[in-house]
Amino acid sequence: MPILSHYQTQTLLRTRSSGAGSAIISLDLGLSESEVAIATDGVQFPDGTILVWDDIAHIDKNPVGCFKVTDEGISKVQVFSEAFNRLYSLMPTTGAPTMLISGIPMHRIKDTDPWRDTKQKVRAAAPKGRVLDTCTGLGYTAILAAQRAEHITTIELDPTVLDICRQNPWSRPLFDNPAIEQHIGDSADLLPDFADASFDRIIHDPPMFNLAGHLYAADYYRQLHRILKPGGRLFHYIGNPNSRSGRNTTRGVAERLQLAGFKRVVRKPQAFGVVVFR
């Protein structure tokens, strides 16, 4: 079904004002473009669905929301997790959308977009062979890593997040690519189930420290070291290395990674993280 944000409705409203009979917009948040007909009562999509102007105006007034379009009208892409007391919603950007977790974006969006942000992380990890993605989120890390590696194991804490993924056009390969294996649960609980030296690469992109401090703990890092193959590489996303909190977190993370057995802490400021080796 079509999914729109204010980036698309701006074009529709401008086209209506110009008097033109059609417009070219994306119906999947920027992945592709389609021609739609501009009519008196609204906009007609290629499948015949009509979106009325009142609904278009509503979307246009909600710059942080993405909306599904159905025969019954529009609905915002958001899901509340009762298990974790969090509201997840899809937020548009000039590129791939990000996800808001109780109002906080899960990707960098200043001077970049979520897809480019993820590309920086994946490039730093240099995926190959078997890769572990510790925190699925919208699945961008697993999707991009799967373009370069043989097999991706990805772990998501909250199954509600996958409900958002199923509604996000950019997340479709997460479900379509047979090289991606999904697990549900806290990665700290699941890591002990993996055999020693299971992975060639690990991409660890945890939530902020105050949301998931146990994913920054020495015991957790020791498990990552155990399941990484000798000569393997771990990328750890931390945050803005130029901020005060980022510098402090980076210092503590580097110390604990080395105590866990990792070698050579290499800072990757463009990716907002560090790379270490076993």
**Measured in Å, how far apart are the chain's first and last C-alpha atoms?**
45
In terms of Cα–Cα distance, which of 199, 216, 96, 188 is closest to 144? 96
Strand order in the sheet with 34-38: 22-25, 34-38, 42-44, 50-52
Q: How far apart are CA 198 and CA 222, in angstroms?
A: 14
**Per-residue confidence band for 65, with pLDDT thresholds at 50, 70 and 90:** very high
Q: How far apart are CA 138 and CA 9, in angstroms?
A: 24
Beta strands in the chain (DSSP E): 3-4, 22-25, 34-38, 42-44, 50-52, 67-70, 73-76, 78-81, 86-91, 98-101, 104-105, 130-133, 151-156, 180-184, 199-204, 228-237, 263-268, 273-277
The predicted pLDDT at position 170 comes to 98
Question: Residue 215 class from Cβ within 10 Å (0-12 exposed, 13-18 middle, 19+ buried)?
Answer: buried
Q: What are the chain's domains? A: 3-76 (no CATH), 106-277 (3.40.50.150)
Average pLDDT over residues 7-27: 96
* Each residue's pLDDT tens digit, 166-216: 999 999 999 999 999 999 999 999 999 999 999 999 999 998 887 888 999
The predicted pLDDT at position 38 comes to 97
40 token code pair: 């008196």
The predicted pLDDT at position 244 comes to 78
Please calculate the CA angle 116-272-265 and round it to the nearest 5 degrees. 130
Instruction: Specify the pTM.
Output: 0.94
* Each residue's pLDDT tens digit, 92-147: 999 999 999 989 999 988 889 999 999 999 999 999 999 999 999 999 999 999 99
In terms of Cα–Cα distance, which of 94, 97, 88, 63 is closest to 168? 97
Reported residue count of the chain is 278
Whether 2 has a pLDDT exceeding 80, the answer reads yes
The predicted pLDDT at position 270 comes to 92
The predicted pLDDT at position 209 comes to 82
Beta strands in 146-270 (DSSP E): 151-156, 180-184, 199-204, 228-237, 263-268
* Each residue's pLDDT tens digit, 229-268: 999 999 999 988 778 777 888 999 999 999 999 999 999 9
